[in-house]
Amino acid sequence: MLNIENYNWSETRLRVRYAETDQAGVVYHSNYLIWFEVGRVELCRDHGFNYREMEAEADALLPVTRVKATYLMPAKYDDEIIVRTRLTDLRSRSVRFAYEILRGADNALLAEGETHHIVVNSQGRARSFPPKYAEFMRGAGKAKEGNDERSNEVG
């Protein structure tokens, strides 16, 4: 087990689209889970970890087995949001990420959450991380030399 207490947050900026809001004009709750995924994929991509490549080359998938989200304040149409993501736990057959959703204008914390994932093959059987991808995961979230945080723009 690798417990990552001091890993840095990766930041991905998004803009709330009209289609992501409900009749009350606030972001529909399930969209936060999509934003968690965006942040997770960008964190991994920034460190050379590619989900698609891992699935195709190593027959290893990372389904979500548990998700937790706490909604504190609403995001609204056209708000810029910041998805903060970090790796919090890495084991031979599982990984966990933490998330914060902030409003860009004032850095207000809108939501926070976490996802737990297991490693499975294409038949759904548990397996260990392929060594190459375990190494990428160990590097995910560590600050690049000279940087405390990274920012990714995603459309």
Question: What is the reported pLDDT for 44?
Answer: 87
| pTM beyond 0.75 | yes
Question: Stretch 41-56: mean pLDDT, rounded?
Answer: 87
In CATH, the number for domain 2-142 is 3.10.129.10
CB neighbours of 129 closer than 8 A, spacing ≥ 6? 60, 92, 93, 95, 119, 137
- Write the DSSP assignment of 4-58 as a string of letters: -SSPPPEEEEEE--GGGB-TTSBB-THHHHHHHHHHHHHHHHHTT--HHHHHHHH
Q: Which residue has the higher pLDDT, 102 or 1?
A: 102
pLDDT of residue 152 exceeding 50, the answer is no
What is the tens place of the pLDDT at every residue in 12-45?
999 999 999 999 999 999 999 999 999 999 998 8
| Mean residue pLDDT across the chain | 87
